[in-house]
Chain A
Amino acid sequence: MDFWHYEFMRHALISALLLGPACGFLGVFVTLRGMSFFSDALSHAALTGVAIGFVLQEIFGPQLQIIWVVLLFSLLLAAAMAHFFERTSLRPDTVIALSYTGSVAFGVLVISKLGKYRLLDGILFGDIYANNRTDLICQALLATAIFGFLGWNLKPYLLSIVQPDLARVEGAKMERLNFLFALLIAATVTLCLKMLGALLLSGLIVIPPAAAKLVARNFRQMIVGSIMIGIVTAAMGVAVSYALDLPTGPTIIVLNVVVLLACYALSRFRR
Chain B
Amino acid sequence: MSHDHGACGHCHDPQHGGRRAAPAEVLLRLARVGIRYERNGDWAVHGVDLEIGPGEIVSIIGPNGAGKTSLLRAVAGLQPVSEGAITWGKKGGKGAIGYVPQQQPPDRNLPISVLEFLLLKLGPKSNGGFALWQWLRRSDGGAREKALAGLEEMGVAALANRRLGELSGGQLQRVMVAYSLLGNPKLLLLDEPMTGIDVKGGRDFVDLIAGLRRDRGVAVLLVSHDLHMVGSISDVVVCLNRHLCATGTPAQVLQDHVLSGIYGSEVAAPKSVAA
**Which positions in A face B, CB cutoff 8 Å?**
32, 147, 150-156, 158-159, 161-163, 165-173, 213, 216-224
- B131 contacts the other chain (CB 8 A): yes
- B99 contacts the other chain (CB 8 A): yes
Which residues of chain B are within 8 angstroms of A213 by Cβ–Cβ distance?
109, 111
Given contacts A169-B77, A219-B113, A220-B136, is CB(A155)–CB(B99) below 8 Å?
no
* Min CB–CB distance B238 → chain A (angstroms): 21
- B275 contacts the other chain (CB 8 A): no
Rounded to whole angstroms, the CA-CA distance of A10 and B109 in the bound complex is 39
Which residues of chain B are within 8 angstroms of A32 by Cβ–Cβ distance?
107, 110
Chosen A-B contacts, 25 in total, with CB atoms closer than 8 Å, are A150-B132, A151-B133, A152-B131, A154-B132, A154-B135, A155-B126, A155-B127, A155-B131, A162-B164, A163-B106, A165-B78, A169-B76, A169-B77, A170-B126, A171-B126, A171-B127, A213-B109, A217-B111, A218-B113, A218-B115, A219-B111, A219-B113, A222-B111, A223-B136, A224-B136
User: By the criterion CB–CB under 8 Å, are A165 and B101 in contact?
Assistant: yes
Given contacts A220-B136, A220-B138, is CB(A172)–CB(B131) below 8 Å?
no
Of the residues A156, A166, A217, contact of B99 by C-beta under 8 Å:
A166
Tell me the interface secondary structure of chain A in the complex: helix
User: By the criterion CB–CB under 8 Å, are B110 and A162 in contact?
Assistant: yes
**Interface bin, chain B:** 35 or more
- B112 contacts the other chain (CB 8 A): yes
Which residues of chain B are within 8 angstroms of A217 by Cβ–Cβ distance?
111, 113, 161, 163
User: By the criterion CB–CB under 8 Å, are A172 and B111 in contact?
Assistant: no
Rounded to whole angstroms, the CA-CA distance of A218 and B109 in the bound complex is 10
Which residue on chain B has the smallest CB distance to residue A34?
A: B107
- B129 contacts the other chain (CB 8 A): yes
**Which positions in B face A, CB cutoff 8 Å?**
73, 76-78, 97, 99, 101, 104, 106-107, 109-113, 115-117, 120, 123-124, 126-133, 135-136, 138, 161, 163-164, 179
Which residues of chain A are within 8 angstroms of B138 by Cβ–Cβ distance?
220
Given contacts A155-B126, A172-B127, A218-B116, is CB(A147)–CB(B132) below 8 Å?
yes
Rounded to whole angstroms, the CA-CA distance of A216 and B109 in the bound complex is 10
Which residues of chain B are within 8 angstroms of A171 by Cβ–Cβ distance?
126-127
Rounded to whole angstroms, the CA-CA distance of A224 and B136 in the bound complex is 8
Which residues of chain A are within 8 angstroms of B161 by Cβ–Cβ distance?
217-218
Which residues of chain B are within 8 angstroms of A156 by Cβ–Cβ distance?
126-127
Rounded to whole angstroms, the CA-CA distance of A153 and B109 in the bound complex is 22
Of the residues A155, A165, A166, contact of B123 by C-beta under 8 Å:
A155
User: By the criterion CB–CB under 8 Å, are B116 and A219 in contact?
Assistant: yes
User: By the criterion CB–CB under 8 Å, are A218 and B163 in contact?
Assistant: yes
15 further A-B pairs in the complex, CB-CB below 8 A; given A165-B101, A219-B135: A32-B110, A147-B132, A151-B131, A155-B129, A155-B131, A159-B120, A162-B112, A162-B117, A163-B104, A165-B99, A169-B77, A169-B78, A217-B163, A218-B112, A220-B135
User: By the criterion CB–CB under 8 Å, are A152 and B130 in contact?
Assistant: yes
Which residue on chain A has the smallest CB distance to residue B165?
A: A162
User: By the criterion CB–CB under 8 Å, are B109 and A223 in contact?
Assistant: no
Rounded to whole angstroms, the CA-CA distance of A222 and B136 in the bound complex is 11
Which residues of chain B are within 8 angstroms of A154 by Cβ–Cβ distance?
131-132, 135
Select the residue from B107, B120, B138, B163 with max chain A CB neighbours within 10 A.
Answer: B120
User: By the criterion CB–CB under 8 Å, are B120 and A158 in contact?
Assistant: yes
Which residue on chain A has the smallest CB distance to residue B99?
A: A169
Rounded to whole angstroms, the CA-CA distance of A213 and B163 in the bound complex is 12
Rounded to whole angstroms, the CA-CA distance of A152 and B123 in the bound complex is 11
Which residues of chain A are within 8 angstroms of B164 by Cβ–Cβ distance?
162
Which residues of chain A are within 8 angstroms of B131 by Cβ–Cβ distance?
151-155
Rounded to whole angstroms, the CA-CA distance of A188 and B78 in the bound complex is 32
Given contacts A218-B112, A222-B111, is CB(A155)–CB(B124) below 8 Å?
yes
Which residue on chain B has the smallest CB distance to residue A221?
A: B111
Rounded to whole angstroms, the CA-CA distance of A172 and B78 in the bound complex is 11
Which residues of chain A are within 8 angstroms of B101 by Cβ–Cβ distance?
163, 165-166
Given contacts A169-B78, A220-B136, is CB(A153)–CB(B111) below 8 Å?
no
* Min CB–CB distance A70 → chain B (angstroms): 28
Which residues of chain B are within 8 angstroms of A159 by Cβ–Cβ distance?
120, 126
Rounded to whole angstroms, the CA-CA distance of A260 and B202 in the bound complex is 42
Rounded to whole angstroms, the CA-CA distance of A166 and B120 in the bound complex is 11
User: By the criterion CB–CB under 8 Å, are A153 and B112 in contact?
Assistant: no
Rounded to whole angstroms, the CA-CA distance of A158 and B179 in the bound complex is 14
Closest 8 CB pairs of A and B: A151-B132, A154-B131, A170-B126, A218-B113, A216-B111, A169-B99, A219-B112, A222-B111
